[in-house]
A and B are shown apart, each in its own frame.
Chain A
Amino acid sequence: MAPEPPLLSMSGITKSFPGVRALDGVDLEVQAGEVHCLLGQNGAGKSTLIKVLAGAHQPDTGTIRWRGEDVTLRSPIAAMRLGIATIYQELDLVEHLSVAENVHLGHEPTTAGFVVRGRAAKASTAQLLRRLGHSEIDPGRLVGELSAAQQQIVSMARALSHDVRLIVMDEPSAALDPDEVDNLFRIVADLTADGVAVVYISHRLEEIRRIGDRVTVLKDGRAVAGGLPAKETPTREVVALMTGRNVEYVFPDRPAAAPQGEPVLSVRGLSRQGEFAALDLEVRPGEIVGLAGLVGSGRSEILETVYGARRPTSGQVLVDGRPLRPGSVRAAVRAGLGLAPEERKAQALLMLESVTRNVSVSSMSRFARGGWIDRGAELGAARAATRELSLRPDNPSVPVRTLSGGNQQKAVLARWLLRGCRVLLLDEPTRGVDVGARAELYAVIRRLADEGLAVLLVSSEVPEVLGLADRVLVLREGRVVHEAPARELDEHRVLDLVMEGSPAS
């Protein structure tokens, strides 16, 4: 190490959100000119950490030293002034503006302080694009007309239009083809050769081996290892660091006998362009089938397509052997499917309404004669369904937004219980549910399966899939790479499969 202070040194960073401690004393040290990789499972705290670094979140405690001096990053602009640029996974470009306008957004070259010098902006943009090896992108084109890879280049050009010393890249390769990834790596190499530091986030270990200098591993909001050599550290050690666990989840027992009977849900060759391909699976009554994979592996897309919320490019979904009309949620619901979606508040709940109304929304006609709702019967049924799931508080008239995350999830489950659904699709069922309430939710899900429901479960938390499911399908980039009974898998093996596509040695 050089005697001069590191470019960036964050220490003891903590950040809490209501109910979650996202960062719990994280240290991160980045040298000028290095590619520093940030690894960790979903929810380990990576995004929160880079948002702190970008000035988008304020840490609760901890210090940030920049080139040897204490700094506070009060806003994204403050971070940018210091020379810290962040390229988020969801690109933050304005589609209806041109490339040059996007690159110079917020710091346009002007005459007399307000007249934008369009030609100067275009010229400097063209220069930046040349430096990035993409002179074919016309600075005058609208960003909305560009491909995802080109948009990423524009994002990078924008970062470089500032006097940048550190660039954070959040999964930059996720949307790229292999040859585009090669170009990305060339750009990263050029940048570091100029002394710019890159903080690189990726799930793909092979990429980290190719371009990384050092690795910091995050787990449960802590840095469990800092500054490991990226090329030499064995995969097994990295995976062990990512998965070593403090919290023991409590999972319910599986039934003694494997579920028998004809599959109630069958999926045949289901594909959606660019998301997942040729998916086959079957779920029997009483069985919990889990899909394990990282973000971008197509998990949520699969569930939503099975449910009819997205239209498949090809393939079929069958319930009791009868194909469902593709792309129709109503057909799926009528056939007995129910979805507990990933974004509970945005996709499932009517936040202004009571628990009763949230539970009854899919079965309203049952309590109605000629459109008139028998509210007594509705309340009674909602109460019965929520009691069966021990939803707290035991009063279905309260607004659903006053419930905790776990109880909100139970309200969604109660909706499908009341509807009498036979196939339950669970997308990240414990997202936003605190650790204590998870065990209870797991027990509820298992009990529903024991009562004869077929459950298809998707989770980014591998232990959850392994602990809860009977059978597991491992996904990588939209394809099933492995299928096995949950008992025969462990977390390391699954992570090896999802990160490298083949079992580790």
Chain B
Amino acid sequence: MTQHVSPPRDGTGKAAPVDGPPAWRGVIARADVRTLSLLGVLAALVLIGGITKPDEFLDTRNLQLVLTQASVIGVVTVGMTFVIISGGIDLSVGAIVALASVWATTVATQEYGFFGILFTAIVVGVGCGLVNGVLIAYGAMVPFIATLAMLASARGLALQITDGRTQIVTVDGILDLGERDSYVLGIPPLVLVFAAVTVIGWLVLNRTTFGRRTVAVGGNAEAARLAGIDVRRQRLYLYLLSGLCCGIAAFLLIVLSGSGQNTNGNLYELDAIAAAIIGGTLLSGGRGTIVGSVLGVLIFTTITNIFALNNLQSDVQQIAKGAIIVAAVLVQRRTASTH
């Protein structure tokens, strides 16, 4: 009664058909195109800056300033990029930066000196990330909601700590870091920290199991779970990472401004998300690059600088930023639809 037929050989000799030409070359090319086009935009901006304000823009001090400003939001964006690649979102980064910066600059904390401030900023950042992560990973809360709640409470707590006053830093070690004397080969230490965070972020994303798991969770959480990945633990770690980056950024901000304020980090969440998005990170998760995000940050900071040098109001800046986000996403949509 069996109706199956024995094969002449074991049947593996025949190759299955392959769809079309190898499309992977196209993917590599597209990834390059994306990075190149971001570099092109950046180069164009530098050109515009150089033409409109030749003396001011290309001045070493100005370029140092641009990079320093990019450093604070840049560190936040590296953490945000990981979170977005995993399919999540962290709306609380700006508020965490504010809270960490004021907690680390209270009179009591400043008594512990340089490392007291550094330690506090990082512990507060990681602590907030822990709350976010536990709520999202184990409390099954939607990242948008959990981090929105954190945004509100961290800002509130920051206001409560400062009572709305600016907390001036009196620790010499901190203030010295912002001085020109501590520049290494003309590079401000803050920029070196940003560079280090970028390199480490790139390595973690591209060379470690942590990075792979992040991409897998964001690309297809169900597949990741069925492949044996602990999706919840990975999510927890990602919000811890974002909190850590916020803590570092808060420290950089303290060095930069010599103070702690509850209004610090205002709208950082939007700037970081925008930078990641124009850098090619999919908001739905599964794909993104550190290099793209950092280029996104540099583009935004350069625009701000050029507009300021040309005495254009911030409202025009905002409109330009919005236009760039829309343009970048439209370009991405086109490349994505050719898949």
Contact = CB atoms under 8 A, between A and B. Distances in A.
Contact of A490 (B2, B10, B207, B209): B2
B40 to A, nearest CB: 25
Interface stretch (B19-27, B146-154, B299-307): B19-27
Contacts of A263: none
A390 B15 CA distance: 8
Given A350-B220, A350-B286, A439-B7, A490 B1 contact: yes
B6 A442 contact: no
B6 A372 contact: no
B219 A350 contact: yes
B27 A252 contact: no
A28 B158 CA distance: 71
B241 to A, nearest CB: 13
Contacts of B14: 436, 440
Contacts of B16: 392, 404, 406-407, 436-437, 440
Interface in A218-255: 245, 248-253
A349 interface: yes
A341 B100 CA distance: 45
Nearest to B16: A437
A357 interface: yes
Contact of A393 (B2, B22, B220, B339): B22
Nearest to B203: A372
A373 B212 contact: yes
* Residue of B10, B22, B23, B223 with most chain A CB atoms under a 10 A cut-off: B223
A371 to B, nearest CB: 5
Given A403-B19, A404-B18, A440 B4 contact: no
A329 B11 CA distance: 33
Contact of A398 (B2, B22, B287): B22
A309 B215 contact: no
Interface stretch (B67-75, B182-190, B226-234, B289-297): B226-234
Given A330-B228, A361-B227, A403-B19, A371 B209 contact: yes
- Say whether chain A's binding surface is mostly helix, strand, loop, or mixed: mixed
Contact of A307 (B3, B6, B226): B226
A252 B13 CA distance: 13
Given A309-B226, A361-B229, A371 B210 contact: yes
Interface string A386-410: 0000101101011101111011000
Contact of A250 (B2, B5, B222, B287): B5
B224 interface: yes
B212 A349 contact: no
Given A341-B226, A392-B15, A402-B20, A371 B7 contact: no
A292 to B, nearest CB: 14
A250 B14 CA distance: 13
A428 to B, nearest CB: 15
A365 B286 CA distance: 20
A157 interface: no
Contacts of B219: 350-353
Interface in A450-505: 463, 466-467, 486-491
A339 B215 contact: no
Given A398-B22, A403-B18, A437-B16, A443 B11 contact: yes
Contacts of B23: 398-399, 402
B19 to A, nearest CB: 6
A347 interface: yes
Contacts of B224: 350, 361
Contacts of A278: none
Contact of B5 (A251, A357, A444): A251
A51 interface: no
B5 A351 contact: no
Contact of B209 (A330, A373, A443): A373
Interface of A: 245, 248-253, 307, 309, 329-330, 333-334, 339, 341, 346-354, 357, 361-362, 364-365, 368, 371-373, 375, 390, 392-393, 395, 397-399, 401-404, 406-407, 415, 434, 436-437, 439-440, 442-444, 447, 463, 466-467, 486-491
Given A351-B219, A354-B24, A399-B23, 14 more contacts: A250-B11, A329-B228, A330-B230, A346-B220, A348-B227, A353-B215, A353-B216, A362-B228, A372-B208, A373-B207, A392-B16, A440-B11, A443-B7, A490-B2
Q: Which 8 A-B pairs have the closest CB atoms?
A: A333-B228, A467-B4, A251-B4, A443-B11, A437-B16, A490-B1, A350-B219, A371-B208
12 contacts: A251-B7, A346-B220, A350-B219, A357-B215, A399-B23, A434-B17, A436-B17, A443-B12, A463-B3, A466-B2, A489-B1, A491-B3
